[in-house]
Each structure stands twice: as C-alpha cells, then as structure tokens.
Amino acid sequence: GENVEQHPSTLSVQEGDSAVIKCTYSDSASNYFPWYKQELGKGPQLIIDIRSNVGEKKDQRIAVTLNKTAKHFSLHITETQPEDSAVYFCAATSGGGADGLTFGKGTHLIIQP
C-alpha cells in the first residue's frame, strides 16, 4: 500500500518569512495530492491540491510542487501570517479523490510574531 512521509514535524518561522513542508510517497500509481490545514478542535480544511498531470499549482500565497520521478511534493507558503499557524497534512491517493487517501503525520507550523 501507499506510504506517505512528511517533514518536518514542527516548523517555526518568523512572520513574513516563507515556510516549506515536504512529503514523499511510495506508490507510483498515486495521482492526486491534496494538502489540508487543521486548526485545533476542527476538521481538516482543503487548502490546495495537485494532480499528477501538472508539476506546480499556485493559489495566492500558497503553492504546491510535484516531482513524479522522485515521488515527492511540497507545500510552499509565502509571506506567512499568524493565522497560518496550524497543523498541515499532505496526502496521496491513486483514487483521484478522497477515497483511500493516505495521510502524512502532519507538520505543526508555528508563526512567530
């Protein structure tokens, strides 16, 4: 089955700086890679996703890159703000949607004022 590794487990950055979270996956059949933000006591919120037919996708301050050859994908947040503080999860699936998503263990992002 699929295995997703996520690093780092904790990331502390100064407000205004950039944050990068990296994930690797094992199943070459995986074709959908969403990123979720989870705040304390809440459910995961989809913030951006990428499918295997593209290498990069951007939405305002958030971008995701995918390297299918190396089987890794990354989340980039620029100009970080205090409200970006949360736990971020990467996930992968060959189902193309939310069925059978394999999640990483999460990155606790802390934005220092």
Partner 1 sequence: NAGVMQNPRHLVRRRGQEARLRCSPMKGHSHVYWYRQLPEEGLKFMVYLQKENIIDESGMPKERFSAEFPKEGPSILRIQQVVRGDSAAYFCASSPTRGSEAFFGQGTRLTVV
Tell me the C-alpha distance between 92 and 98, whole Å.
9
Per-position DSSP letters for 5-45, written without gaps between them? EEE-SEEEEETTS-EEEEEEE--TT--EEEEEEE-TTS--E
Answer yes or no whether residue 16 interacts with partner 1 by CB under 8 A. Answer: no
Among residues 51, 19, 37, which one has the least CA distance to residue 90? 37
Q: Which stretch binds partner 1 (CB under 8 A): 10-18, 37-45, 60-68, 76-84?
A: 37-45
Nearer to partner 1, 27 or 103 (CB): 103
Which residues, at least 6 apart from 49, have a Cβ–Cβ distance to it below 8 Å?
Answer: 32, 33, 34, 35, 57, 64
Answer yes or no whether residue 95 interacts with partner 1 by CB under 8 A. Answer: yes
Answer yes or no whether residue 72 interacts with partner 1 by CB under 8 A. Answer: no
Answer yes or no whether residue 44 interacts with partner 1 by CB under 8 A. Answer: yes
Q: How far is the CB of 88 from partner 1 (least distance, A)?
A: 11
Answer yes or no whether residue 57 interacts with partner 1 by CB under 8 A. Answer: no
| Residues of the shown chain interacting with partner 1 in the complex, contacts defined by CB under 8 A | 4, 6, 32, 34, 36, 41-46, 49, 89, 91, 95-106
